[in-house]
Amino acid sequence: MMKDQQYQTAAFTLSEKKHSYGKNIHLLNAPFHEKLLSRFCTEKVVQPEANTLVRSLTEFMLSQAVNLLFPRSKQVVKTRMSSMHKEAEFEAELLDESTKVIVVDLMRAGILPSLVCYEGLHEFLPYKNLRQDHILLNRKTNEKEEVVGINLSGHKVGGPVDGAFVLLADPMGATGSTICNIISFYNDHLTKINPSYKGKPLKYIALHFIVTPEYLSKVKTYSDQLEVFALRLDRGLSSAEILKAPLGEKWSEEKGLNEKQYIVPGAGGIGEILNNSFV
């Protein structure tokens, strides 16, 4: 069996932008996918192109999170050439197939991104180590149409999260209410569903196309449990002075949400666009 030193260590360095939001926040530096995202945000993109772009963006973000966070192990690979050359069997450090993952389908704008993650992870994880849960939720607003939380109206949870990565794929990280409520749900309420659903996940992983400073401030509560990946941070309603400052240097003065808690510049109502349901 061949042992080539280049296969022995699979170190991965994430290309990300500098900021002061915390080491668990990863703002990806990815020109190709930033271009796709910029197109996705324009009015001319509707179905079916919207879904095509969501798939491409989500697949990329999933790969970045997996590359950075998932464990690896030494494995022996026997290629098709092994019948002719003993050197065609080699040892390499590869993603560990014993890793457990729960993908959470946030049934609003997160249906397709979650499915893309679920399908993608099946490409290297055995089926017994991968599960998809479903959470039905929507924004809770007051009389001024301001977001004051979420309505969690239903769920289908297939087991405990003990020792697993919990993956939360949702295109827009606007207020942070959804992610915080979902983490609280899994941390505090699983045993109420089933007393045997005990234990803690390895890590929560949130995948967003766009986040805001307000979102990052909200999820800071879970900074020791949560890794956030985003392609863009929008703070378009900040002052000209703040927009010149490095990301997060004057965090409390950064603003990316309008009075109805939509992201600016943002991409509009993604749930409506992806589901072709404009209400």
Does an H or E element contain 217, and which?
helix 213-219
First to last CA, the chain: 62
Evaluate whether 173 touches 208 at the Cβ level (below 8 Å). yes
Question: Rounded to an integer, what distance in angstroms lies between the CA atom of residue 83 and that of residue 252?
Answer: 63
Tell me what pLDDT residue 199 has: 93
Right CATH for 16-69+97-275 from 3.40.50.2020, 2.40.30.10, 3.40.50.1860, 1.20.1300.10: 3.40.50.2020
Does an H or E element contain 151, and which?
strand 147-156
Tell me what pLDDT residue 149 has: 63
Series of mean pLDDT values for 10-residue runs along the chain (279 residues): 82 95 98 98 96 98 98 95 92 96 89 97 98 84 66 84 97 94 93 92 98 98 98 98 98 96 94 83
Paired tokens of 199: 């234990």
Evaluate whether 204 touches 226 at the Cβ level (below 8 Å). yes
Cα–Cα distances in angstroms (integers) from residue 86 to residues 74, 81, 238, in the given order: 19, 8, 62
Tell me what pLDDT residue 11 has: 81
